[in-house]
């Protein structure tokens, strides 16, 4: 992961993403619950930052395991909203 807020090869017009933001939002990315513009920015960061990509891959494998074992149970909307809110505070 990069310690600075940008990569040395980033172009001036490129939206800069901090590794911590990517890791914080990894579940939203994996669940495809981001707006398309933000998803594109995070996806480009993952291409450019192997440590964040590794972290995302671990998350992806965990999600796959949970999905297989939990049968795709869906959380009630209120619970889901409170969990997302708590994750954003973290």
Q: Calculate mean pLDDT across residues 36-55.
A: 87
Give pTM, 2 decimals. Answer: 0.50
Q: What would the DSSP string read from start to end of 35-70?
A: -HHHHHHHHHHHHH-HHHHHHHHHHHHHHHHHHHHH
User: Residue 78 has what pLDDT?
Assistant: 94
**Pair of tokens at residue 35:** 């707006």
In this structure, which CATH number among 1.10.357, 1.10.1060, 1.10.10, 3.30.70 belongs to the domain 19-89? 1.10.10
Higher pLDDT pick, 30 / 39: 39
The answer to whether 52 and 21 have CB atoms below 8 angstroms apart is: no
- Mean pLDDT taken over the chain: 76
Sketch the domain layout of the chain as residue ranges.
Answer: 19-89
Does 16 have pLDDT greater than 70? no
Band of the pLDDT at 25, cuts 50, 70, 90? confident
Q: What pLDDT was estimated at residue 81?
A: 92
Are 42 and 34 a contacting pair, CB within 8 Å? Answer: yes
């Amino acid at each position: 992961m990069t310690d600075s807020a940008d990569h040395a090869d980033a172009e001036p017009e490129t939206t800069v993403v901090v590794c911590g933001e990517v890791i914080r939002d990894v579940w939203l990315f994996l669940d495809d619950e981001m707006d398309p513009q933000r998803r594109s920015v995070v996806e480009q960061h993952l291409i450019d930052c192997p440590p964040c990509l590794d972290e995302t891959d671990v998350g992806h494998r965990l999600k796959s395991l949970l999905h297989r074992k939990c049968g795709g149970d869906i959380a009630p909307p209120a619970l889901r909203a409170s969990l997302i809110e708590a994750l954003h505070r973290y």
